[in-house]
Structure 1
């Protein structure tokens, strides 16, 4: 009869534990749904901002800059690549107007300096040395500096690749889940059919 007593005790414990276990389970499911939803929203935003580059890169680049944004509006940092004598402002959002005057941080990608992949797009200007005109000259091992209001970030280039405009894998995090940046521009300069990509990982950070 001892086994019956144990069985009854076990049943009692399970009866008392069931509501708690059920609550924990549904809380877990709720959290997963929220994370999935937030993740899908981010991915949707990333895809949308990346897709709009098609229209921006393919449009005829006019010399009329009447729609330029204010030099004091929307700037989140400065990107410098000494190897190609480049210094360009980074604005929030890879929009048509922003890319007329600087580089644009793609909405939905990681913030500058934080873990993940921060994507930055810019035109290849017809003027030598302007915007991302000389980006193909950047090679693995070269340095890229990004300066924000509070940080100076030093990145080291890891790879340069050419992809089709539909290839979203360039916006993924690397397997080490490091802080990284992905620079994006059109290729070739006239009638672009591909995207030229330069990837770099954060190696040093200084607080200003």
Structure 2
């Protein structure tokens, strides 16, 4: 009758473990639903931000840098520097038409600067040489990009350049295992049909 004893033992263990297994399963489902919800929310924000950027880039003439610094001072979240092209540009939260008149814009829905994920920063290509992202195509793989916030300096190394359609949101996809910086501007400068992309990965982080 050993088999009966084994059956009773298995039945007893199943009875004891079932509530725990059920709890673990539902907890897992909870986490999955929350992850899906957060991902869907981020995707929605990215789509809205990308559409807004498309509207800004397809203007007949990019706005010139005639904004008043004192009016937007409180909205600045950092500054971007690329020594290769002698560029220093303030960064504001949101890639709106107003913000991109005077600065680069951190796109809503993308990761915070310096954190794991994909932080996207957009700017115009000014008709004035050396202004905004006018010289961005000169940046090559291996060049360094620095982003300074009020607390830290993040140094990124350029890994690739791309030319994509405005509808291609794959360049904004996030990765949880590394910190990526994506710079975005229009191409060509007049009557743009594409977006010029520069991607870089975080190399160093310094506390101020």
Q: TM-score higher than 0.5 here?
A: yes
Shift of 1:63: 4.9
- 2:133 corresponds to: 132
List per-residue Cα deviations over 1:123-170 (Å, max 9, x = no partner). 011111111011111111111111110111111111111111111111
Shift of 1:102: 0.3
- 1:34 corresponds to: 34
- 2:89 corresponds to: 88
Shift of 1:62: 4.5
Secondary structure of 1:156's aligned partner: strand
- 2:142 corresponds to: 141
Contact 1:69 1:97 in 2 (8 A): no
Gaps of 5+ in 1: none
**Higher mean displacement: 111-120 or 3-12:** 3-12
Across the aligned residues of Structure 1 and Structure 2, the Cα RMSD in angstroms comes to 1.9
Q: Determine the C-alpha separation between the residues in 2 that align with 1:26 and 1:67.
A: 54
Matches within 5 A, 1:1-208: 1-60=1-60, 61-63=62-64, 70-173=71-174, 177-208=177-208
Contact 1:68 1:98 in 2 (8 A): no
Shift of 1:13: 2.0
**Higher mean displacement: 96-105 or 71-80:** 71-80
Shift of 1:189: 0.5
Contact 1:43 1:108 in 2 (8 A): yes
Gaps of 5+ in 2: none
Aligned length: 207
User: Runs of 4 or more off by more than 4 Å in structure 1?
Assistant: 62-69
**Higher mean displacement: 107-116 or 189-198:** 107-116
Secondary structure of 1:131's aligned partner: coil
